[in-house]
Amino acid sequence: MSDSEFSDRKILQSWHRNAAPWVRAIDSASIASRRLVTDAAIVAAARAQNPATLLDVGCGEGWLSRILAGCGMEVLGVDAVPELVQAAQRRAGPGEAYRRLSYEALAGGALSRRFDLLVCNFSLLGKETVERLFAAAPGLLNPGGHLLVQTLHPLEACGEGDYRDGWRPGSWAGLGGEFSEPAPWYFRTLGSWVELFARSGLPVVELREPLHPESGRPASLILCGSPR
Ligand SMILES: C[S@@+](CC[C@H](N)C(=O)[O-])C[C@H]1O[C@@H](n2cnc3c(N)ncnc32)[C@H](O)[C@@H]1O
């Protein structure tokens, strides 16, 4: 296994370990940037596509699926971590379903149906797993469908490191002492994200940079791609 594949694997190990504190952090809305900016931003970006069916990729405990199902969409949320999928299932209302599925399984054809919209909200953290998922994404979309990604804004996430793609050490900074074993994550420049969408046959058709109301800095990057 390459170092990069090893790092990809550590990401899931970390989410298995931190599922319980993650559910508590979401339930208590303790992540200020989510509360103030990025939750509303991804809901608005998803609704703008007016999808009837949606796949929430890396759905966590399912908050986004719940909101979008409440807007009338038929939603399937998938995540590899059983504790998170079970939390989502316990709270599911009409129009929502959840399955335990890894990106590797998705890329391997585990789902035989297609969707109008794939949403990845802060859930694309690795390298090879993400690239395989992107390669499989066109096969999960209905004609005219879209792939929507919200991620850390590269300008803000870059920090002191070189502005080039690469693995970065993980941190749970700002999330409190309950979290442990942060996993490395794969930094991508803005150009690299755009290139990944294009390479997967889903060129970017819309880009949003929601601003943090207090700092005036970009709180996230939202990219939307669609088949040519
Ligand atoms: C930061 S959380 C975001 C969760 C949710 N999208 C949200 O907005 O709250 C990242 C999620 O990605 C999931 N994830 C990461 N790598 C994955 C993989 N290879 N397969 C399936 N899920 C994965 C984790 O289990 C976790 O639930």
pLDDT exceeds 90 at position 130: yes
Ligand 1 in reach of 85 Cβ (< 6 A): no
CA of 128 to the centre of ligand 1 (A): 15
Q: Do 78 and 55 form a contact (C-beta atoms < 8 A)?
A: yes
Ligand 1 in reach of 102 Cβ (< 6 A): yes
pLDDT exceeds 90 at position 79: yes
Could you tell me which of 185, 191, 196, 198 has the C-alpha nearest to residue 228? 198
The domains located in the chain, with CATH, are 3-225 (3.40.50.150)
pLDDT at 174: 84
Q: Whose CA is nearest to atom 8 of ligand 1?
A: 121
pLDDT exceeds 90 at position 141: yes
> Of all atoms in ligand 1, which is nearest to the CA of residue 81?
25
End-to-end CA distance of the chain: 34
How is residue 75 written in tokens?
Answer: 């939603």
- Per DSSP, 183 falls in state P
Candidate from 5, 15, 59 with most ligand 1 atoms within 8 A of CB, to mutate = 15
CA of 124 to the centre of ligand 1 (A): 7
pLDDT exceeds 90 at position 147: yes
Between CA 190 and CA 54 the distance in angstroms is 25
- Per DSSP, 59 falls in state -
**For all residues of the chain together, what is the average pLDDT?**
96
Ligand 1 in reach of 80 Cβ (< 6 A): yes
Ligand 1 in reach of 92 Cβ (< 6 A): no
> Could you report the per-residue pLDDT of 92-120, keeping only the tens digit for each?
999 999 999 999 999 999 999 999 999 99
Q: Cα 171 from chain centroid?
A: 17
Mean pLDDT within 199-209: 98
> Could you report the per-residue pLDDT of 154-171, keeping only the tens digit for each?
999 999 999 999 999 999
> Of all atoms in ligand 1, which is nearest to the CA of residue 34?
8
Within 53-168, where are the H helices?
Answer: 63-70, 82-91, 103-107, 128-136, 154-157
pLDDT at 5: 84
Q: Which residue has the tokens 């809305």?
A: 29
